[in-house]
Structure formats: C-alpha cells, structure tokens
Amino acid sequence: MNIDRNVLNEQNLKKLEALNNPHVLKIVEEYVNLCKPSKVTVITDTKEDINYVRQMALTTGEERTLAMKGHTVHYDGYSDQARDKANTSVLVTPDMKMSKVINTKPREEALKEVYGIMDGIMKGKEVLVRFFCLGPLHSRFSIAALQITDSSYVAHSEDLLYRTGYEFFKTLNGSDDFFYLIHSAGELDERGNCKNVDKRRIYIDLKENRVFTVNNQYAGNSLGLKKLALRLAISKANKEDWLTEHMFIMGAKPKGKNRITYFTGAFPSACGKTSTAMIPGQTIVGDDIAYLRMGDDGMAYAVNIEQGIFGIIEDVNPVDDPLIYDVLTSPRELIFSNILINDSKPYWLGMGSDIPGEGYNFSGEWKKGNTDKDGKEILPAHKNARYTIRLSELENVDPKLDDPEGVQFSGVIYGGRDSDTSVPVFQSLDWGHGVFIGASLESETTAATLGKSGVRNFSPMANLDFLVVPLGRYIKNHLEFGRKLKKTPLVFSTNYFLKENGKFLNEKVDKKVWVMWMEGRIHNEYEAIETPIGLIPKYTDIKDLFKDIFNREYTLAEYTAQFSIRVKSFLEKLDRIDSIYKEEDEVPQEFFDNLNRLRQRLLDAQKKTGKDVIPPADFE
C-alpha cells in the first residue's frame, strides 16, 4: 500500500492484508492519503482492540467518566445537536430519478466540493478503521460495512450499536459488496468540538455505496452506519426485492397464553414509536431500523440491523420508562450525550427528579438563567440529548435478537399523530389498503403561538427523510413485497393523540390494550366492526382487555368518543394526500384506487347516516 509506514505501521498493515480484499486496501489508501492523518489504527473484533477504542475516547477527551461505573458522557458542539437535513444530500447523475421531496445534489459537483473539504482534514489526528456487520452475522440479511473515522466517540458508539465485522469481511472473499463510510469531525475548538460547522456536509453516493460525512460529531450525522447507511440499504433493497424500513420490531406476549407474536412498526418522530416497542411485559428486537425479507417458507421475516439503542433521553423516568430508567441508573457500559453533569452525576429533562441549578452541559459551564448569543435561555440538558446502550442490557430484550433467520412477523403497525381524525387503533381491509395507510402517515405538530390547532407533516412509512428512490417506486415495492408472500401480515394503524375539548381521550399506557387487540386479531380471537376506514374493535372486547390488563373500567362513552369515525376530518386528510401524490411520478394506480374507494366509503356513510361524526354503533 502506498501509505507512509510512519502513518500505517506493519502491524496495522497486516490486519488489512489479512482480509484478502483489494477493495478495502484501495479505499483505505485513497482516504488516508486524502485526509492525511498522522496515524492509522485498524480495529479487529478482539477485546483488546475494542477496549483500545474505548480508552482512546477518554484519552482524547471526547468522553469523560462519570461517578457510576462504566458511564461516560460526550458533548457535541452547541450547533451540532441534531441531524442536519439541509446539508444532507443524495448525489445524483442526470439519469437518476428522485422524488421532489428528496434533497439532492449533482454528483460530480458535490464530489469535487467534499473532496476539497476533506483534503488534509485529519492532519495531526489518529484515524480508526472499523469493520461492522449490519444485521445478524452470517445471515441472508447481513451487509458488511467499513467506516473510517477520526472520532473515537463515534467508534465507541458503534461498538455499542453494531455487531463487529472484521472476521465477517474475510467471508466476502475479496468482493466489493459492502458499504463504506468516511467521517471526520474536522478541526476542533478548545472544547473538542467542530469549528467549521458551516462546512458540514453529509453526502450519500448510491453509485459507490458510500457516505461522506464531515465537520460534525452528533451521532445522527457522524455514525455512517446509522441513518446514513439506511439510505444505502433502501437503494440496495429496492433493486433486490426486499425492504429496508425505519421500523421497530417487538414481540407481543398476551397474558395467560404461551405464545409470542412479532410486529414491525413505523412511527414518525414523537408518535410513540419507542414507547410502543418498550411496552412492559413484551420483548424488543429493535427500535429503529429493520430489514424485511421473504423466507424460504414464503413468510415475512425481519431483523434489527443494530444491536443497540441511540435513544432520546428526555422524559425517560421511572414511571413511564422503568426498564430503560433502570439501565441508565445502574453500572454498565453506556454513553450519555449533551446532558447536564453535576458532581459527576447525569441529569436530563423529564427524568422525574430535581435538576441542579448549575453544572456542565452542551453549552459549557452552565447556570440556570444562562442565555445563548440570541438571548434564548439555555436548558440544563438538550431536548435531543441521548443515551447509547446495547440492547442486551435490557431485561426485555428478545432472545432472537441475533438469530440469523430473523423473526417471523405477523403484523405491521403504522402510527401517526393527529388530534382530530383517526381512531386509537384499526385494521386495514387488505395488504394494499395497509400500504396506503403507511404511505399516508402524518405527524401533527402544535403551533399554538400561530393560532393554529396543528400542522401535519407528511411522512410515508415514517421514512421520508431517508428515501433515495422515487416515492412511487417505493410504494410499488411495498405492494409487491406483500403479494409474493405465502401469508401476508395484517396491517394496523394507531393514533395515541386523539383529543376532545383540548384533552387527550387516551392515557399513555392504553397502547398496551391496542397492541393486545391487534395480537388477538392475528390469532382470530376477536371479531371486528367494518367501517369506511377499516376494521375497528368491538366494545366488549376492548372493555374486557382494559379490565384484564389494568383492572380498569372502560365505559361505552369512552369507546364511542374514541372510535367514532370523523368523516369530515378523514376527507380533508385524503385531499392532502391526493394532492401530494399527484405531484409524484410512477405512483401505482392501486394506491389511487385505495384512496378513491376510501373516499367513496366515507361519503356513502355520511349520506346514509346524515352525520359527520359516526359512532361505532351505526356500523354494527
């Protein structure tokens, strides 16, 4: 290799050569010579190498130890606290079709720019060459991934979140069938944070299965294996007849029954995704990204591409999230980011206990009342503060987390947020209708200061931010995936945010009842009422579930308020969805057929009953 031996010594060179992969050697050589680090360290799967990364994060100051054994904290820069959508682009050539909703840049122009930024960006730094496997090892789901990074925090985070893959790379037998990801935090300030955030760039190059991410540290931007590789896998899946989805995977275990039923679920941000995946008494396989494939038996299977959680910590408390809270407050290896530290102890928003009025946080030394340069009050911890742990640390982790076959899933849940339209839970009429439900997902945000009840953000399959194929093709592939299965999973919709007179009609914990009804529907244990929007529960079944699960009386008045069909609101939603998809190319006619049939069913029911809000009893 044409790399200075003072930069890449013989020991590390031998580690690379042992892979017998000329493509890996070429990539490492190209980017080491471009970025010009002072040292290259190749990390294998050994405990010694993994521990080297963890210690390096402490030595460089990217992480600090806390009072609890195994706990460390990392701080991103004040303006580097979330995914940078504006500077995240898919690189396209003139022949590549993309939806209008996808942020793109001309490929040659973007490559020239990012190569210019990367020239010498790692001077004086040690770079780590990492190897990982997305999905369980030695599985039909497995995808190899190489990341080159000058951040030991990023590398340490990856050890918690992903399965090691150095030995797995040897099984490629010299193939170039892997993703690769180049990251640099760039020039750092006195706090060890990125100085040149104005030159932050996150570019996804589908033609080469690679990602460039520079001048950032926040894990959502810097961990190439996180949402960045999600985009590469979406592209790969759409060429190979499987699906890459922004989905959790959970196992539902009904009380008194010796079975487990697996669900996948897609929820936009702040719609209840993690809390659904972590319902007490159930199991979790994954909370973020899933690969879905048809098995040899013709059934649908899913795996979590990760082995850990990079979770939002705000509002994690002993009442609402007891399992996670226990993990975060007991000795084990974990990384906090962008929280408040006082006396070497961590504090975050909504943790259920008092927060000190001073300490150290993402802004530096902090006191209550501090403001930023714009005069805005600085919170004690960032609202997007995070924790990073291995899933194996959770007592409810599913035993099939690392099963190379994945888990056979029988249900798909699409969860949105709206205050005035959808019922808490309903089932689609068939697979095509279910795909329509997922493709019509919306997430409502409050905007009280503007005098509006809410603004609805369109988010098909909760995957809009990560799509790298035309929306029409993405919908078509979902339809075809279900059609080729021997038995199609049932599709459900949930909405935990329905309101009346400004008050929520559901309690936070009620989602367990909705999940158990869905689980029972899969096993033909409950009948349902057919309505224009789909199949809703019968009152007696929901009443019994509330009594059995919570020992709570569930009244007919509650049921009627929650499960009435709000025709006018649904028709308004259909108009919004119709106008969006009419702007897209190659949307399958089946999608519009489902939309038009739903609209007609709603209009027919409205005409028949003379009501804009139709109670469930009118459909029985």
Yes or no: say if 495 and 533 are a contact pair by the CB < 8 Å rule.
Answer: no
- Give the number of other CB atoms < 10 A from CB of residue 432: 21
Q: Which DSSP category does 341 fall into?
A: E
Residue corresponding to tokens 């926040």: 218
* Measured distance between the N- and C-terminal CA atoms of the chain, rounded to whole angstroms: 74
Strands (DSSP E) contained in 329-437 are 334-337, 340-342, 345-347, 358-361, 364-367, 386-390, 407-416, 425-427
| Both structure tokens of 321 | 């999230």
Where would I find the H helices in 464-526? 471-483, 511-522
Tell me how far CA of residue 616 lies from CA of 74, 538, 557, in angstroms.
51, 8, 11
Distance CA(478)–CA(438), nearest Å, equals 10
Distance CA(43)–CA(49), nearest Å, equals 5
The bridge status of strand 201-205 relative to strand 88-92 is: parallel
Catalytic residue among 35, 133, 194, 271: 271
Give Cα 470 distance to the centre of its chain.
20
Yes or no: say if 314 and 279 are a contact pair by the CB < 8 Å rule.
Answer: no
CB half-sphere exposure, 123, CA atoms < 13 A? 6
Q: CA 193, 195, 196, 198 torsion: positive or negative?
A: positive
CA 117, 43, 32 angle in degrees (round to 5)? Answer: 25
35 is catalytic: no
The pairs formed by 199-202 with CB atoms below 8 angstroms and a separation of 24 or more are: 199/117, 200/80, 200/84, 200/87, 201/87, 201/113, 201/114, 201/117, 202/84, 202/87, 202/88, 202/89, 202/228
Distance CA(592)–CA(595), nearest Å, equals 5
Bridge partners for 127 per DSSP = 40
Strands (DSSP E) contained in 420-496 are 425-427, 442-447, 452-458, 490-495
Active-site positions read: 271
